[in-house]
Chain A
Amino acid sequence: MSKFNAFQRKTFWVGSLVVLLMVVLAGCSGSKNDSAQNTGTNQSANQGTDTSKNTEPPATGGTFTYGRPASVTSFDLHNQITANNAFAIDKVFEPLVAFDSEGKIVDWLAKSHTISTDGLTYTFVLRDGLKFSNGTEVTAEDAVFSIQRHLTVGGPLAIAAQVASLKAEDAKTLVITLKEPYTPFISELTNFSNGILPNKFGGVTEEEFFKNPIGTGPFVVEKWDPAGDLTFSKNPNYWQEGKPYIDKLVYKLIEDDSQAINQLKAGEVDGIETLALGNANEVKQGPDTTVATNGSWVTEQLFFNTLDKHFSDIHVRRALALALDRDGLTKALTFGYAQVANSLLPPAIPYNTNDTIKALNHDEAAAKAELAKSKFPDGFTTKLLVASGNSTRAQEAQIIQAAAKTIGINIEIESVELASFRERFFAYDFSAMLNSGQADSPEANSILAFQTDPNGFSKSYWTHYTNDEVTKLLIEGQKTLDGAERGDIYAKLQQILADEVPYIPLYYPDIITGVRSSVEGLVVLPNGSLRFEDVRIKK
């Protein structure tokens, strides 16, 4: 046996050596390949700097690769809403007016706009020499066609204003008249869904057009896999002279969060769209990585079903708000990338009253006193619905659970997968849930209409909260022109919400994007989109 073994060992040591050699060989050929790939990207980056004749900054050219958790499935701007499509559509189609990183409305394809004093007539004058990416001139007729299609289609971001007429007064002037004043209109026009496309889709069918979309945006679709990556190239006819600085923009599908962070660290991507709060500081402090942030239009909230046995009682809702330390919750969960919420409207939205509102702040004694006034003075047991897969929300639920316990409310956390979660709250099949409300444009009405209108399809964000005074104020706010009077209306409305608590605003999370340190000039918009036309890649 021993002889057998001795021989055995020899052959198998040889065998394992061969295996090892193979692995090493694979590694070597691999690294060769890798360096080839690297030189590939270097070359394309250098080409850019070469054209600028080696004058150091500003660098131009190169490819920006952006890791995103979901692929782009459609460019049909009037039928889409989710971020995966919205943030690709807004690279190709641009609206007449836009918002900047502060959320301020600025002229974009229009060089000027005027609103009549009665709030009924909107006049836009297009920029001179404005062209689509295929070189054809943009006219007011194109704008009429685009907005008309949006009105016809409706879609998830339907134009809420009552449009009486849409008219191209001359080649460059567009006049829109409304049946009744609707102040949020101008801000709703900044939405990606009000981008301008060529009249009659430039002569092709609708289906063909959205497969090869043509707009005025800084980028043109070059290669697109609806279930995978998307490559944009720069629009040679872009109206902002010299921009975009980069030659190509690649949206790379990376579904897994930690995979995205690792690709960022290794330099395989230049930026990643989603970065969990818990990972933000790790990326910020990394040697080659940093974060680009901005305040958002999002309010994280605890929602109550006001049809629920317990939460229909206003004292119960108030008691829970008083029992909750929002300050502590925000500090514990958001690592400095959020602001504590007092009002429903985030600070990045006009007419927010976050600094002046009287919110129900943490006060355990007051909470107990408030619960004593309710129909359930001895407490009760209820459930909190949470979508799984979001660690921040899971911790949020636990903090709320602990806070409720201090006043005798026993909360069971029910964590379900996203598709089931939606199914549940759309059917009002919940007592309380964690979710966030988001504005689509820099406009108070955007959040308020969705969260306070009991007649809207969202039924006050599925809380079924109904208050005639609130509904009246909401409609008044829509008709009052911008100014102090409108501010008063919204201040009053937000205060009622803070007193009656159909939902508890918890915090306003920042937008956090992970980027390589070599990236310059990235503009983070408050809706989470990025302006890539301003980006430069330093080499």
Chain B
Amino acid sequence: MIKSNSLFKKIADNDSPRRWLVLALIRAAAVITCVVAAVFFLIRIVPGDPAKMILGEHSTPEAIQALHHSLGLDLPLWEQFTRFVQNLFTHGDTGASIAWGTSTRELIAERAPVTLLLIVMASVLAILVALVLATLAATNKDRLLDHLIRIFPTITLGMPVFWVGLLLILFFSVRLGWFPVGGVGEGVAGTLYSLTLPAITVAFSQIPTLVRSLRAQMLEVLESDFVVTLKAAGIPNRVILTKHVLRNSALPTLMLLGVNISYLIGGTLVVEQVFGIKGIGSLLFSAISKRDFPVIQGIALYCAISVVIISLLIEISSWLLDPRTKGKQ
């Protein structure tokens, strides 16, 4: 990964999965520690006081002081940090929310499933659409269809997510009444149904980059010698495309997808806000505006862990697609 990491490479090259796992975990722990520490100090540097957000303009100095004391915000910064770390290890929690009073862990556990489901739905949708569009474009290189498909990402990339979401709501929910305007429905079917428009909105922002990357890779593979050889050997086109071309061009797109999904873990904020979904993104938004320190820290921790897990999963799936990359990532 990094050139100076020759030791890492050496151990990884030894091809012991257990060793690889140990190294990956050490790396993950380092990343998570850095994120948590950085967020802890950053949010305290930013102006704004949770006590004043609760008490509003009736915050008498006594009331502020009393609230600070009960929240432990009157302690020196270093002591606050050690308490925070202690709490993290003894209770596995970043503390009780200042604004809502409930445990941060519970708040996140309650809201994470919706956001994760939204990300999965959006990613599946984005992959399906990207596969179709990229294949059509690559196999019709420089024809009208290819040009149309290549214009599409340029346009959609320029459309802000909240605007796409609002348009979808206005048309499909308010005008046609096909989908709920917002919120999350009850039961599995209700949830999936209510998340359809949000998922399309998220997918909209993901599709352009995926199509571009996949199309470029497919073109490269389609023109490579081994495809010509396969064709010359009389292998059916369907087999060539699905077994060889797609598989060989999927790798960079998979990496890109990994980056996209990692971004979405905390980045569905705008979509959740527009569609009134009570997920991680909207929780983060309220927590930041209320300066709810424990919740902000909790979400940062959750995002860091999720991103690390996703990058591990992507790494593993890239091995499966192309065993040559094993240990090289």
Contacts and interface: CB of A to CB of B under 8 A. Distances in A.
B76 interface: no
B61 interface: yes
B313 interface: no
B157 interface: no
Given A256-B274, A419-B291, A426 B140 contact: no
A143 to B, nearest CB: 24
Contact of A226 (B101, B135, B169, B291): B101
Contacts of A228: 278
B238 A11 contact: yes
Contact of B174 (A19, A265, A422): A265
A227 B97 contact: yes
A266 B177 contact: yes
A73 B48 CA distance: 20
B190 A156 contact: no
Nearest to B99: A73
A154 B61 CA distance: 13
Contacts of B170: 262
Interface string A1-40: 0011101110110011001000000110111011001000
B178 A9 contact: no
A159 interface: no
A255 B285 contact: yes
B52 interface: yes
B282 to A, nearest CB: 6
B100 A71 contact: yes
A27 B276 CA distance: 20
Contacts of A155: 63
B173 to A, nearest CB: 6
Contacts of A157: 58
Contacts of A424: 47
Contacts of B299: none
B174 A254 contact: no
Contacts of A5: 139-140
B193 A26 contact: yes
Interface residues of A, number: 54
Contacts of B181: 259, 262-263, 265-266, 268
B47 A419 contact: yes
Interface string A389-407: 0000000000000000000
Nearest to B57: A458
Contacts of B180: 34, 266, 268
B276 A263 contact: yes
B183 interface: yes
Contacts of B237: 3-4, 7-8
Nearest to B66: A154
A417 interface: yes
A518 interface: no
A420 B47 contact: yes
A268 B48 contact: no
Given A4-B139, A5-B140, A259-B275, A422 B49 contact: yes
B309 interface: no
A497 B10 CA distance: 79
Interface in B199-229: none
Interface in B290-321: 290-291
A34 B196 CA distance: 13
B107 interface: yes
Contacts of A226: 100-102
Contacts of B291: 419
A157 B196 CA distance: 45
A82 B135 contact: no
A423 B183 contact: no
Nearest to B48: A419
A43 interface: no
B198 to A, nearest CB: 11
A442 B241 CA distance: 77
Given A227-B100, A265-B174, A423 B47 contact: yes
Interface string B162-186: 0000100110011001111111010
Scoring A12, A15, A31 by chain B CB atoms within 10 A of each residue's CB, the highest score goes to: A12
B286 interface: yes
A74 interface: yes
Contacts of A82: 54, 56
Contacts of A318: none
A268 B289 CA distance: 27
A82 to B, nearest CB: 5
A19 B128 contact: yes
A12 B136 CA distance: 7
A155 B169 CA distance: 43
A254 B276 contact: yes
Nearest to A26: B196
A417 B291 CA distance: 11
A514 to B, nearest CB: 14
Scoring B99, B183, B286 by chain A CB atoms within 10 A of each residue's CB, the highest score goes to: B183
B184 to A, nearest CB: 10
A81 B55 contact: yes
Contacts of B53: 418-419, 422
A8 B276 contact: no
A250 B283 CA distance: 21
A73 B174 contact: no
A19 B132 contact: yes
14 contacts: A8-B135, A12-B132, A12-B139, A19-B128, A19-B129, A34-B180, A226-B101, A227-B110, A262-B182, A263-B276, A265-B181, A419-B289, A423-B49, A426-B59
Minimum-distance CB pairs A-B, first 3? A419-B48, A156-B58, A30-B193
Given A30-B178, A262-B174, A268-B182, 12 more contacts: A16-B132, A31-B178, A156-B55, A228-B278, A254-B183, A254-B276, A255-B285, A262-B170, A419-B291, A420-B46, A423-B49, A458-B57
Interface of A: 3-5, 7-9, 11-12, 15-16, 19, 26-27, 29-31, 33-34, 37, 71, 73-74, 81-82, 154-157, 226-228, 252-256, 258-260, 262-263, 265-266, 268, 417-420, 422-424, 426, 457-458
